[in-house]
Chains A and B, each alone.
Chain A
Amino acid sequence: MTTASARIILICSGKGGVGKTTLTANLGIALARLGKTVAVLDADFGLRNLDLLLGLENRIIYTAQEVLAETCRLDQALVKHKQQPNLALLPAGNPRMLEWLTPEDMQTIAGLLAERSDYVLIDAPAGIEQGFKNAAAASKEAIVITTPEVSAVRDADRVIGLLATMDVRPVQLVLNRVRPKMMANQEMLAVDDVTDILALPLLGLVQEDERVIVSTNRGEPLTLEANPSPAGQAYLNIARRLCGDEIPLIDPSKKRHGLRARLINKLRKTTGLF
C-alpha cells in the first residue's frame, strides 16, 4: 500500500467503441495478477460499463457520489474482484445522476483511491466534453487507446492535444484491434503511421481477437486466464511494460505473411507504383 507514489492513469480515446473499457478491465486484472493493488474508477457514469466487463454489475451498492456525500465509507463503495482481490472497482456515479461531478470531486476521489492503491486506472468517458475533462483533471498520466482507423486516430489526436494543455504526462499509446494481415498488405494504417502521426510512444499492440467478445459476454477479462489468447497476452504485456519491464513489440505491418504478400510487398518496393 503506497500513498504518494500511486500512479493515477487516465485511459481515454476520444472516439467511443475503440476499447477503453476493455483495456481498463484487462489492465486492472493484469496489474493485480502482478501483485499490485489496483483501483479502477469508471468515470463514465452516464453510460457505465466497466462493472459489466469485470462481472461486478450485481455487486454495486454505492458509488463515488455517496462517498463524496459521506453517506458511506470508501471501503463500502469499493467492489472487490473475487478472483483478484487486489482489484477494486468504484463507479463514479449512477446513470440517474443529473449533474456531472466537478473536477475537484474527481480529484478528491482519485486521491482517496491513490492512498490505498499502487495503481488507479480511470476509465474516461468518450468525447472531449466535461466528463472527459473532469477525469483528466484527476489524472497524472494517460494511456490513449486507438484503432488503426482514420476516425479513431483523428479523435485520439484531439484528446492528445487536450491532455497536453492539461499537463497530463507521460501519455502513451495503445493500438487496438490490429489486423496483421491487412497491415502487411497495406490495407490498414501501419503501426508506424499511427505512432508518427500521433507522436506518442507505443505501450502496446492488441490484435483483433474474437475471444474479447466471449470474455465480455461472460464478464471475465481475458487476463484472468492462465493461458491467455493473443489479445489477453497483449494486455498482460502492457501491464508489465507499465511496471517497467522491457518486452519487445512486434510490428505486424513489417511481418511477411506467405508468398503472395511477400510478392506484393516486393512489387510495391521495386516499382513504387501502388
Chain B
Amino acid sequence: MTVLDFINHLLRRQKPSGTMARQRLQLVLAHDRSDLNPELLDQMRREILEVVQRYVEIDIESCDVSLETEDRVTALLANLPIKRTREFPLPSGSSAFGGGPSARIAVASAETNVIGGPSPSPATAPAETGESPAASQP
C-alpha cells in the first residue's frame, strides 16, 4: 500500500479490498451452497418492494422477484414494472407510509382468502379497498 493509498483510505473511508472480498464471497457462497428458503425469499421480496415503492409507483400485481439458477450461477431477478416516479421520495420507515403498500398486499391476499372462490382476481381486490390510482387499474 502506498502512502497515497493510505490517504485515500482515510479520506474516502474506503473498506480494504480484503474485507470486500470476504463479504462478496460470503454472499455468493450462500447462494451457491443452498437455495434460499422460501419464507426468507418472500420476506426479502416484500421489503424490496417497500423500498422501491418509496421512490416509484410500481405495478404490484405484475412484480416478480425470484432467484434463478442457470449453469450453477444463481441470480436474484426482480422485474418491477414502473407506473410513474414519485415527485418526492417517501420517507423510510413503515410508520409514515410503509404500511400502505404492504397492507395492500396483505389486504389482497386476505380478501382472496376470505372470499375463497375463484371469482375475484388479486388485481381487483385492492381496487375495492383502494384509494390510490395505483390500485384502480383493472
Contact = CB atoms under 8 A, between A and B. Distances in A.
Contacts, number: 62
A157 B29 contact: yes
Interface string B10-31: 1001111111011011101100
Query: Chain A at the B interface: mostly helix, strand, loop or mixed?
Result: helix
A149 B20 CA distance: 11
Contact of B25 (A150, A183, A261, A273): A150
Contacts of A187: 1, 16-18
A260 B6 contact: yes
A258 B13 CA distance: 22
Interface residues of A, number: 24
B9 interface: yes
Query: Chain B at the A interface: mostly helix, strand, loop or mixed?
Result: helix
Contacts of B9: 264, 274
Given A157-B29, A187-B18, A274-B13, A150 B1 contact: no
- Which of A187, A188, A260, A268 counts the most chain B CB atoms within 10 A? A187
Contact of A197 (B18, B19, B22): B22
A157 B30 CA distance: 11
B44 to A, nearest CB: 22
Interface string A173-203: 0000000001101111110010001000000
B22 A193 contact: yes
A157 B32 contact: yes
Given A157-B33, A187-B16, A274-B14, A197 B25 contact: yes
9 contacts: A149-B21, A154-B25, A154-B32, A157-B29, A182-B18, A188-B17, A189-B25, A197-B26, A261-B1
Interface of B: 1, 3, 6, 9-10, 13-19, 21-22, 24-26, 28-29, 32-33, 72
